[in-house]
């Protein structure tokens, strides 16, 4: 047997890439690599590697979740010294994919399996040449054709008109914004990945927190991952809306006494319980740049340990992440494009070793000054990040202090493009859609559109779409005029209600 296939360096390279590289794991599955391939009677016996391989090969997706692996290791009830050796090896193996190493082990995987199995046959045959020949035939010939997918070739082809092909009904997670949901066909689906783009101060974070809060109150479990702001600032955005306390006073600390009083007086027990049960903030401020694999491991570990099988993950924001492999001399748009690709892969993976999937919104900052509407040509590296997401939305604002906003499509894989003008109640993180023409504005549940006669405007927070009866008076007395658009721009939609912030 070639020295490379009994060398611990190669074996650990193979094991490490099995745990982090989808391509390596797929090839191992197609070649039927087995934990017994890491154990041979005699001098090549490696029981530690055998158990590491067994814990790895039972997975169907990567990266492997360490918390789940450790639970499975405990279930094996190995002798303490062996369990400690396996655990040490697991933590020693590199946790990031190396494309050059992955390519090397994939190239050598088939020869490795042949060599290990042949050596095992020889060791067990005890010098019986005929037995060696017979057993080697069973190993060598099937392996020559196993370098293709396990799926039979015929199963890859279908006759679409012999039987109508139907997808499973796609379950959607509402954005909490009625007309935005209508434009997107219901919201964002499980296993789907969407991006929200806006300038600094243009409303990205407020839109993200509003989506998270609304989904939680609809009964979905949500994790809001904050990489840019402290957890207190994210919480303050939500408090401003739920308890009707001015955000600026919470941001500078002067409003906390009022907040505590509002919390004590709050009477909607059902709403409060939904928020307590279904909403979590993951505070990663100061821990960036973060890689997608590390992020997935964090949320999976929390979900599995605490039984919090989240339906929606909101990542704030893409600029604070980096690709698994850092390349010297790479430009920002190239790096962000690779991050987007890896986030898309992450969105298709279930939580831990469960079958529970989730949807993911990722916030992304546009360069330049705030404006009400911008095109793809104005986004640096747009082509790099736009290829993978199902949906890309823009959020614009007509100046740093304006109360005029728009939410618009920049890419909709499954729907038509649109523009949706909004009027913001900036102090309380709320938004109401503007009417473009008489009769365009519509009441949605308890929501009243802006009146044309100078009367007050009533609205509910974005989660009002889920039946929340709370209403407060906006300070803006009239509906602002619609923003002009050219014939080439996407059409604006009629009424919807959205939560938003002046702080972006």
Q: Last residue of a domain, which of 107, 125, 155?
A: 155
Helix, strand or coil for residue 294? helix
Name the residue with tokens 């154990």. 39
**313: CATH:** 3.40.50.300
Same domain for 219 and 275, yes or no, is: yes
Provide the pLDDT for residue 273: 94
CA distance 443 to 437: 15
Same domain for 102 and 211, yes or no, is: no
Residue 334 located in a structural domain:
yes
Q: 135 φ, ψ to 5°?
A: -70, -35
Same domain for 99 and 226, yes or no, is: no
Same domain for 227 and 199, yes or no, is: yes
Residue 344 located in a structural domain:
yes
Which residues have a Cβ under 8 Å from the Cβ of 216 and sit 6 or more positions away? 222, 274, 275, 278, 279
Same domain for 277 and 140, yes or no, is: no
Residue 164 located in a structural domain:
no
Residue 216 pLDDT greater than 60, yes or no: yes
Give tens-digit pLDDT for 242-264: 999 999 999 999 999 999 999 99
CA distance 495 to 476: 17
Same domain for 118 and 187, yes or no, is: no
Residue 166 located in a structural domain:
no
Residue 162 located in a structural domain:
no
- Do the bridges between strand 430-433 and strand 497-498 make them parallel or antiparallel, or are there none, so unpaired? antiparallel
CA distance 182 to 172: 11
* Nearest CA among 259, 174, 241 for reference residue 502: 241
Provide the pLDDT for residue 401: 87
The two most distant CA atoms of the chain are separated, in Å, by 100
Helix, strand or coil for residue 421? strand
Contact predicate 406/420, CB 8 Å: yes
Residue 165 located in a structural domain:
no
Determine the structural domain holding residue 123 and report its residue range.
3-155
CA distance 172 to 191: 10
Name the residue with tokens 């049960």. 277
CA distance 255 to 258: 5
Same domain for 147 and 183, yes or no, is: no
Q: Last residue of a domain, which of 155, 182, 201?
A: 155
Provide the pLDDT for residue 156: 65
Same domain for 405 and 361, yes or no, is: yes
Residue 314 located in a structural domain:
yes
Q: pLDDT band at residue 454, thresholds of 50, 70 and 90? A: very low
CA distance 424 to 395: 12
Q: Last residue of a domain, which of 123, 155, 187?
A: 155
Same domain for 176 and 310, yes or no, is: yes
Apex 284 CA angle, 282 and 288, nearest 5: 150
Give tens-digit pLDDT for 476-500: 334 444 444 444 455 555 433 333 3
Residue 479 located in a structural domain:
yes
Same domain for 151 and 176, yes or no, is: no
Q: pLDDT band at residue 2, thresholds of 50, 70 and 90? A: low
CA distance 188 to 211: 11
Tell me the mean pLDDT in the region 167-194.
Answer: 85
Same domain for 177 and 147, yes or no, is: no
**Number of structural domains found in the chain:** 2
The better pLDDT of the pair 26, 124 is held by 26
**Mean pLDDT over all residues of the chain?**
78
Residue 59 pLDDT greater than 70, yes or no: yes
Same domain for 148 and 294, yes or no, is: no
């Amino acid at each position: 047997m070639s020295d490379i296939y009994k060398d611990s360096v190669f074996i650990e390279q193979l094991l490490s890439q099995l745990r982090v590289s989808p391509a390596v794991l797929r090839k191992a599955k197609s070649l039927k690599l087995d934990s017994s391939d890491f154990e041979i009677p005699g001098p090549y016996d490696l029981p530690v590697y055998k158990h590491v391989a067994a814990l790895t090969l039972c997975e169907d997706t990567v990266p492997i979740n360490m918390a789940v692996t450790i639970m499975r290791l405990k279930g094996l009830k190995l002798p303490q010294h062996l369990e400690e050796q396996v655990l040490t090896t697991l933590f020693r193996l590199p946790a990031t994919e190396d494309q050059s190493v992955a390519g090397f082990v994939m190239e050598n995987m088939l020869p490795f399996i042949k060599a290990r199995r042949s050596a095992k046959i020889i060791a067990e045959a005890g010098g019986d040449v005929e037995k060696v020949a017979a057993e080697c035939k069973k190993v060598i010939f099937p392996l020559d054709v196993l370098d293709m997918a396990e799926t039979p070739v015929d199963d890859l082809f279908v006759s679409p008109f012999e039987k109508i092909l139907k997808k499973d009904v796609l379950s959607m997670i509402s954005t909490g914004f009625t007309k935005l949901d209508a434009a997107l066909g219901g919201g964002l689906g499980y296993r789907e990945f969407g991006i929200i783009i806006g300038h600094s101060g243009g409303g990205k974070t407020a839109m993200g927190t509003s989506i998270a809060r609304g989904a939680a109150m609809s009964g979905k479990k949500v994790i809001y991952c904050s990489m840019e702001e402290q957890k207190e600032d994210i919480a303050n955005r939500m408090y401003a809306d739920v308890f009707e306390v001015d955000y600026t006073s919470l941001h500078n600390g002067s409003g906390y006494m009022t907040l505590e009083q509002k919390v004590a007086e709050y009477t909607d027990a059902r709403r409060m319980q939904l928020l307590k049960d279904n909403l979590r903030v993951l505070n990663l401020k100061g821990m960036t740049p973060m890689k997608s694999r590390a992020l997935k491991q964090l949320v999976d570990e929390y979900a599995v340990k605490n039984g919090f099988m989240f339906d929606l993950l909101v990542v704030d924001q893409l600029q604070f992440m980096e690709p698994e492999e850092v390349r010297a001399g790479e430009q920002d748009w190239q790096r962000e494009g690779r991050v987007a690709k890896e986030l898309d892969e992450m969105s298709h993976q279930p939580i831990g070793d469960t079958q529970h999937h989730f949807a993911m919104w990722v916030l992304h900052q546009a360069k330049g000054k705030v404006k009400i509407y911008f095109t793809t040509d104005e986004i640096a590296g747009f082509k790099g990040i736009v290829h993978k997401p199902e949906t890309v939305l823009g959020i614009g604002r007509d100046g740093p202090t304006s109360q005029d906003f728009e939410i618009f499509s920049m890419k909709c894989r499954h729907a038509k493009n649109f523009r949706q003008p909004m009027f913001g109640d900036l102090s309380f993180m709320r938004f109401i859609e503007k009417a473009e023409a008489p009769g365009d504005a519509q009441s949605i549940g308890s929501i009243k559109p802006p009146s044309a006669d100078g009367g007050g405007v009533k609205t509910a927070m974005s989660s009002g779409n889920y039946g929340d009866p709370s209403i407060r008076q906006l300070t803006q007395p009239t509906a602002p005029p619609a923003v002009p658009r050219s014939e080439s721009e996407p059409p604006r939609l009629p009424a919807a209600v959205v939560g938003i912030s002046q702080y972006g």
